[in-house]
Chain A
Amino acid sequence: MEATLNVKLMARRLASRRVFVFYVLGALTLALLAINLGVGSLSYSLNEIIHVLTHPNEKSQLATIIFKVRLPRTLAAAMGGAYLAASGLLLQVYFRNPIVGPYILGVSSGATLMVSLVMLTPLGFRLTHATPFLTTIAGCLGAYGVTILVVALAAKVRSGATLLIVGLMMGYLCGSATSILTALAEKEKIKGFVLWGMGSFSGFKQVEILILAVFGGSLVLAIYLLSKPLNAFLLGEDYAASMGVNIRRFRLFILAAASSLAGLVTAMAGPVAFIGLAVPHMARLSFGTADNRILVPGACLMGALVVSLCDLIARMWLNPVELPISAITAFFGAPIVIGLLLKKGARFG
């Protein structure tokens, strides 16, 4: 018996498999980041691009394209993907439900409602001159308005299932208000709004990238540092509590962190469908684990990879027409997830 049961050995074997997957995903992500920088409607040689990147102070047309257009977009897509994946992972663990995504609590509906207010009504027209970040600010207000409401409700509602329904209802509420505004809006404004609603990582300003990196990065770090209690949550609230997790405090953290990450990305890029729901599954299956100490960084990496790839396709597939990111994420992602599930025979819930 002694020889057959060696937990340390099992742990080591799993760990080496996971390290391997990290390397593969990391290499693929780096490659995609490079391709995203290099590929566009104007093509340049690899040497030219490397020269620009290593001499950031020289002025040239390429330097402008790289630093003002492609680099922000590449970084935004990678970070956006990572944050949505982390947000989805958190909520899937908390609700112990595999079909939950970052938007389940109404974050994107809130953002969409506020953005529709500035894009579709005369209110926005007057404010446009005040700030170039109008839609972003509106999106932020909407996303965080809903987040604060949900977290406040979570302090009162004990049951996760009830909270889920409350979140869904908030989504419907915001959705119907948005529909009313859309029905009343002028036709030409609607197209712009609909396209915003499908997400895009173009046009990110440097300051937005900075906010995304600092605020989002610290949230992800905090989540990683709390992946131990997150693991306890895999067994449900009662078991987590019996192992010493402060349930009240921790569930508020989960909900606040998940909604903040999703809200951050949505305010800047618009709602990006599918990533937050599917990427945690892709990460789980690739790493072959439910251990959140692996999955928090793993899902972030996978999210960065998938969204970078989707953004590349969105930009280049029907060039010069640019497709909305949500169209691509679901179009290519859904079959991949179904395929993975069938192949691995993995069961969820």
Chain B
Amino acid sequence: MPGPTPPLLALKNLTVGYGQPILTDLNLTLGRGQFVALLGANGSGKTTLLRTIAGRLKPLAGTIKINGQNLKDVKATTLAQTLSVVLTDKPLVPLLRVWEFVALGRYPRTDFLGRLTDHDHEIVEESLREVQAETLAARLVDELSDGERQKVVLARALAQEPELTLLDEPTAHLDLKHRLEIMAILRSLGRRRNLTILAAVHDVESATKFADLAVTLKDGRLLAFGAPEAILSAKAVQNLYDCPAASFDPSLGGLETPPDGLAGRAFVLGGQDKAALIYRFLAKKGYALTTGFFLKTDLDAHVARALGAKVFSWPHPDLKNEDELMALSLKELATCDLLAISEANGPLPELRARLLTEAQSLGLPILRPGPNGDLAPFSLTLERLKNAAAA
């Protein structure tokens, strides 16, 4: 009697670990054609979970069902036709060509001597194209760069023609270009091949930007499962990685760490998206930040908040008028060690002018970027200040 199609992967009350449980009581159901990011701190059990789903590790309790069938009843070859893996170790095989390497993925679908048919050749070509590695086909695997190799490793996993691919940190050690390429390929595979991808990912930014769904693991439990936009709030990310210092901005998808403030405090006149680079620069130099005056939706406001700055946005909910804002910001300026001015002609020009004269009368160093926002003058001024302090 044909019932509804069972889910591709269903974990029920699953406990995994090496003898000792690492993750307990997991419940998770994945459908087809989804890119799912598996997030969690180091040691949170991402790899252990993947190894268990791949059948390399027996569950300590609970069940794993693939296409409705209990994993322990699935024949090894059938499983290999349904599920492929991309592991963290580098398969450096000397004297093996890329196409031969990818063709190894045909293993569960070839005869007892592994002879390749025309159809197998086509699948190998298609898999290479899928990862944009067709030009690498004749190269030797051990001569590829890390990024190229990772594409080829992915192509091998695709050549198995799986419904589910498990990846362990697929972008670890890759440069920016390859990291983005691999993530973009993974994102499109779900749609194009109806392939479900479950990837342990260690950077939250990629997860929010590329994955359809995210699973977070912490303290031996599944913390949340859902769209990254829904479950990866700033708070959730801080909690997930036990990292209250990190501030994650879900709308920017960026992680920032607030400065230690050892160098003092800087007042930055920002606005109109011009000051973000100045914030980062000063934060790196150890300055805690205070900034104004702009709408709270300004890009500068997002970055400044992520860097833990005191932000005088306008209109301000607690302040009745501009005079109050003026008084408050002058008081704040008195606690600062320098004033930095972005090139913006932001809102509230009188306030800006007043702050500048106040800074001059306080004898604060005033930093201005060069043409086109060049921050070299900042470096020079800070260097001079440091030398003066040392003398």
Nearest Cβ in chain A — how far from B197, in angstroms? 15
Closest to A291 in B: B100
Contacts of A231 in B (CB 8 A): 104, 107, 114
Mark B65-107 against chain A: 1 for CB-CB distance below 8 A, else 0.
0000000000011011001110101011111110110011101
Which B357-385 residues have a C-beta within 8 angstroms of A?
none
Contact of A228 (CB < 8 Å), options: B87, B95, B110, B135:
B110
B125, A244: Cβ atoms closer than 8 Å:
no
Q: How far is the CA of A235 from the CA of B137 in the complex (A)?
A: 18
Q: Are A246 and B137 in contact (CB under 8 A)?
A: no
A234 touches B76 (CB 8 A): no
Establish whether residues A244 and B107, one from each chain, have CB atoms under 8 Å apart when the complex forms.
Answer: yes
The answer to whether B97 touches A235 (Cβ under 8 A) is no
Bound Cα distance from A118 to B56, whole angstroms: 47
Q: How far is the CB of B278 from chain A (nearest CB, A)?
A: 46
Interchain pairs with CB closer than 8 A, number = 106
B104 A10 Cβ-Cβ under 8 A: no
Query: Are A5 and B125 touching (Cβ within 8 A)?
Result: yes
Q: Which residue of B lies closest to A238 (CB)?
A: B87
Determine if A239 and B91 form an interchain contact, defined as CB atoms under 8 angstroms apart.
yes
B134 CB-CB contact with A under 8 Å = yes
For residue A52, CB closer than 8 A to chain B, the reply is no
A245 neighbours in B (Cβ, 8 Å): 76, 107
Instruction: Select the stretch in B116-124, B202-210, B269-277 that faces chain A.
Output: B116-124
Expressed in whole angstroms, the minimum distance between the Cβ of B100 and any Cβ of chain A is: 6
The answer to whether B286 has its CB under 8 Å from any CB of chain A is no
| Chain A residues whose C-beta falls within 8 Å of the C-beta of B77 in the assembled complex | 244
Tell me the minimal C-beta distance from A101 to chain B in angstroms. 17
A18 at the binding interface (Cβ < 8 Å): no
B46 to chain A, nearest CB (A): 15
**Distance between Cα atoms of A234 and B160 in the complex (Å):** 17
**Contact between chains at B112 and A225 (CB < 8 Å):** yes
- Determine if B55 is an interface residue (Cβ-Cβ < 8 Å): yes
Interface size of A by Cβ–Cβ distance < 8 Å? 37
- Whether A239 and B125, one on each chain, are in contact in the complex, defined by CB atoms closer than 8 angstroms, is no
A243 and B80 within 8 A (CB): yes
Any chain B CB within 8 A of the CB of A59?
no
- B138 an interface residue at 8 Å Cβ cutoff? yes
Tell me the complex Cα distance, A242–B153, Å: 13
How many residues of B are in contact with the other chain, CB < 8 A?
Answer: 43
Residues of A within 8 Å of B118, CB to CB, are 8
Residues on B with C-beta less than 8 A from A232 are 104, 107
CA distance A150 to B116 in the complex (A): 36
- Asked whether B113 is an interface residue with its Cβ less than 8 Å from the other chain, the reply is yes
Known: A243-B107, A290-B93, A347-B94. Contact between A228 and B113, CB under 8 A? Answer: yes
Q: A241 and B114: CB pair below 8 A?
A: no
In whole angstroms, how far apart are the Cα atoms of A11 and B102 in the complex?
13
Which residues of chain B are within 8 angstroms of A288 by Cβ–Cβ distance? Answer: 95
A239–B76 CB distance below 8 A: no
**Complex: A244 Cα to B76 Cα, angstroms:** 5
Whether A1 and B129, one on each chain, are in contact in the complex, defined by CB atoms closer than 8 angstroms, is: yes
Q: Does B142 contact A (CB under 8 A)?
A: yes
Which residues of chain B from 109 to 150 have any CB-CB distance to chain A below 8 Å in the complex? 110, 112-114, 116, 118, 121, 124-125, 128-129, 134-135, 137-138, 142
Pick the contact of A234: B96, B99, B134 (CB < 8 A). B96
Q: Does B254 reach chain A (CB closer than 8 Å)?
A: no
Q: List B contacts of A4 (CB < 8 A).
A: 134-135
A173 to B268, CA, bound (A): 74
For chain A, residues 283 to 297, give those with C-beta under 8 angstroms from any C-beta of chain B: 284-285, 288-291, 293
B54 interface contact, C-beta 8 A? yes
Residues of A within 8 Å of B91, CB to CB, are 234-236, 239
Other than the given A5-B129, A10-B99, A244-B76, 9 more pairs (CB < 8 A) read A5-B137, A231-B104, A234-B91, A234-B93, A235-B91, A238-B89, A239-B91, A245-B76, A291-B100
Would you list 26 pairs from A and B whose C-beta atoms are within 8 A, ordered by A residue?
A: A1-B134, A4-B134, A5-B137, A7-B103, A10-B97, A10-B137, A98-B94, A227-B113, A228-B112, A231-B104, A234-B96, A234-B104, A235-B93, A238-B87, A239-B91, A241-B55, A241-B56, A242-B83, A243-B80, A243-B108, A244-B77, A245-B107, A288-B95, A290-B100, A293-B114, A346-B94
Q: Closest 6 CB pairs between A and B? A: A244-B80, A228-B114, A243-B107, A244-B76, A244-B77, A5-B134
